[in-house]
Structure 1
Amino acid sequence: MRSISTSFYSCAQCNFFLCNCCVHELPKKVRHWTCMHLRELFFYSIFYCDYCRFWSSGFGYNCNACREIMCIRCHEIPDARIVNIEGQEHFLFFGHKYKEKCCGCHDDDFYRDSFRCKDKKCNLVLDYRCLVLPQTARYKYDEHALKLTYRDDHDLSQCYCDICEETRDPKQWFYHCAYCDVSAHPNCVLWKSPFVKLGKPFRIDVHEHPVTLVKIDFYPPRCNDCGEPCRDVLSIQCTEPDCTYIFHWGCYWSREYSSVWCLLHRD
């Protein structure tokens, strides 16, 4: 679910692409440093990572003993890594006792433990979610790529999101276009599901036709569950032109499954 910049493999019959590293470097079974159990590689149209809390498509690892699901991006994060923020290198290492607020999103309700800079004078603490944020992102109304930015020196009264038009915390990470002077919350730019592949048909147990994941900009139909328009949010829609089946993904998931684990292991 990341852009392919090197050689890759593709299916001649369907819209399926794999970069070289996903073909040759992903073991089917592996022990990850976060737990002692054996994790198994799986593929699914959409799943929820228990570590970064992003919905994702494609490959992931699940631990049957812990009943946990991990996306490939989180799987690739080592227990110690170097990150470059504003030209300064930080050596981050994983810790079970770090419960401070994440410096990227200021969330202190961590689903997972966090990473902290090895320099005791540095207060940088990051959770999995901020560690996997793309360095650049596209916004449909800006011709340039927006860059992940770590601090805003403007006054609080001048810090707002150009997408949702709500205020921003200048100390939280955001995406910014220097050419157009556009700034936005990460969730507003990424639509809360940047790693989900749209348009690929798949089947669900509760509907007779194949469905697909969509995000609709204009003239959105209303969700069959809550009745609200399916605008700019991840939705599940029937691929048959005469069928009106459409649900917000959140409505469908909460209605049909008690947990993501049930979704992946319903067979």
Structure 2
Amino acid sequence: MHSQHDLVLHGKSPYPYISGGCICNACGQDDWKFFTYHCSSCEFDLDVKCALLSSTVKHKDHNHPLHLAYSLPSDYRSFPQGCSVCREKVHPSDWVYYCGPCRYFVHVTCIVISQKDEEQLSEDIEYPISGEQVQNVVKLPSSNAAQELIARFLLKDDEISSSNDSGKMNIPEEIFMNTHRKHPLILSEKVQNLDEIKSTTGDDQEEAKALLVCDVCIEPICSSDDLHYYACVECGNFVHLTCSNLPLELRIPKHPQHPFSCMYNPSEIGIFKCEACRCWTNANYYKCEPCGLRICIKCASASMMTSSVKHDGHKKHLLTQFQSSDPIHCTACDYIYRGGFGFACEDCHIYVCYVCALLPPTTTQRWDKHPLLLIYPPYFEHPEVFYCVLCETEINPNCWMYHCRECDYSLHPFCISQIGEFGRVKYGRSLNVNNHSHPLTHVPEAKYKSFCGSCNSRLDWKTAFECESCRFYLCPKCAFERELPVVTINE
């Protein structure tokens, strides 16, 4: 507040030469329909409605009182703060209503007070949606998002639930796929489900999950509801039933000008960056040839959705599909992306990129037996600063994060190996290269003080191709240049 000098009430602008009047230092508006308080010494102006603001209010979408601050409190300037109503930036000099423990901020011009709502405040205010909307809505987050979305556009709704009850009926016993033509893929029945994997611990659990990963979508076989899958045990190649039936061509609603063709990289390296989720992957992908746009299977499945999304990260309203060439600020991760696919609530100015929208509700860490839960701001009754235990930096409290309630520690989603930038890469594939007698194995991290045997670049903790017996490494670029062609057979 302006405490150094007295403010004098003016009935007209003290700056008659300025068209439209002066700007209120509290709300930033220049509407001269109101009287204004003015300090001529400091050129400080305050319109009447801001001068009469209450020091404490209750906002209809928050369950704690909000306190008036005459500038953004210094304790909350580590990260840019946004208004929880309009989503615009809260500048350090703005007057703001806030709840400190929840890091909840609202511009003084955005406050909406409803006496009726004040008596029914809750942490998660959820607005009802119609019965017709509920039938078609996709619920996220999901631990099996990829397979649910693939099944959704492959099968009619009434077929999805019955597809798993048919056993082996009308399912071929063996198939050949372009992605693996060495041997036939044999229809196999799940012998290791999620419960059995969860009963193991530590490295055994991680190894069990890594062994059963679909080579088409790079998602765990064990996460699928299908009772069967295709496998070439000799080569460690596995495919979901749904992924074995992917169409060769897609017409994506948000990119209607050209069809997308289903493709794969025959190289064992085969890594590309999906232009929808921006993650590296060696999954199959759909490509728009004229535009050169490549989208991984998971994102292509999401982009085929014509229904709305009900996401726990925004319970007020449904989210709808969007694709834009303009820069988009993702509400969940705080990154600004120049174009891409995602989900939006236009009413609340909420935009969520694909990679955040498709995050699983829970995940695990190798050293902790407890589940890590995906949580969303505002973080009620957690006034302490959040730090990521992996990168050891402060977490923006306006973003989504994973949190262990039992141990009270948090992580950035992208810091978790199975979720981050390389979380959709299937490691363990074998690669033969020239001038080395042993096959190399694709590993997520090279050992400390490791160097590429070709270009001599340092590879500490970076993804690489490794010959464990020789302690020989190649970086992905050199491995690609030295890869020997794969011998295939015809059907």
TM-score range, shorter chain: 0.7 to 0.9
Matched, 1:27 2:247: yes
- Find the residue that maps to 2:318 and give its secondary structure: strand
1:79, distance to aligned residue in structure 2 (A): 5.2
Alignment of 1:1-267 (within 5 A): 1-4=218-221, 5=224, 6-7=226-227, 8-24=229-245, 26-35=246-255, 36-44=257-265, 45-77=270-302, 78=305, 80-86=307-313, 88=315, 90-96=318-324, 99-117=327-345, 120=347, 122-151=348-377, 152-153=379-380, 154-155=382-383, 158-189=385-416, 190-202=419-431, 210-216=439-445, 219-224=447-452, 225=455, 227-231=457-461, 233=462, 235-239=463-467, 241-242=469-470, 244-247=472-475, 249=476, 252=477
Which runs of 5 or more structure 2 residues have no equivalent in the other structure? 1-217, 482-491
1:245, distance to aligned residue in structure 2 (A): 2.6
Distance 2:464 2:235 in 1: 20
1:113, distance to aligned residue in structure 2 (A): 5.0
Describe the shift of the 1:150–1:110 C-alpha distance in structure 2 as closer, same or farther (beyond 3 A).
farther
Identify the residue that residue 49 of structure 2 maps to in structure 1.
Answer: none
Give the alignment's Cα RMSD to 1 decimal: 2.9
- Counterpart residue type for residue 29 of structure 1: E
- Counterpart residue type for residue 83 of structure 1: K
- Counterpart residue type for residue 106 of structure 1: D
Give deviations 1:74-123, integer Å, cap 9, x for gaps.
101125531321582523231537744211111123341543115x2x23
1:145, distance to aligned residue in structure 2 (A): 2.8
Q: Which has the higher helix share?
A: 2
1:65, distance to aligned residue in structure 2 (A): 0.9
Give deviations 1:10-62, integer Å, cap 9, x for gaps.
114221111111112x1112222232222221233422101100011222111
1:167, distance to aligned residue in structure 2 (A): 0.5
- Find the residue that maps to 1:213 and give its secondary structure: strand
1:227, distance to aligned residue in structure 2 (A): 4.5
Describe the shift of the 1:108–1:185 C-alpha distance in structure 2 as closer, same or farther (beyond 3 A).
same
TM-score (ref. length: structure 2):
0.45
- Find the residue that maps to 1:180 and give its secondary structure: coil
- Find the residue that maps to 2:429 and give its secondary structure: coil
- Counterpart residue type for residue 143 of structure 1: K
Distance 2:451 2:310 in 1: 41
- Find the residue that maps to 1:21 and give its secondary structure: helix
- Counterpart residue type for residue 128 of structure 1: Y
Distance 1:206 1:192 in 2: 31
Which runs of 5 or more structure 1 residues have no equivalent in the other structure? 257-267
Give deviations 1:185-215, integer Å, cap 9, x for gaps.
1111134211111111135789886433212
Distance 2:436 2:312 in 1: 47
- Find the residue that maps to 1:58 and give its secondary structure: coil
Question: What is the aligned-residue identity percentage?
Answer: 27
Distance 1:50 1:100 in 2: 14
Distance 1:191 1:113 in 2: 18
TM-score (ref. length: structure 1):
0.79
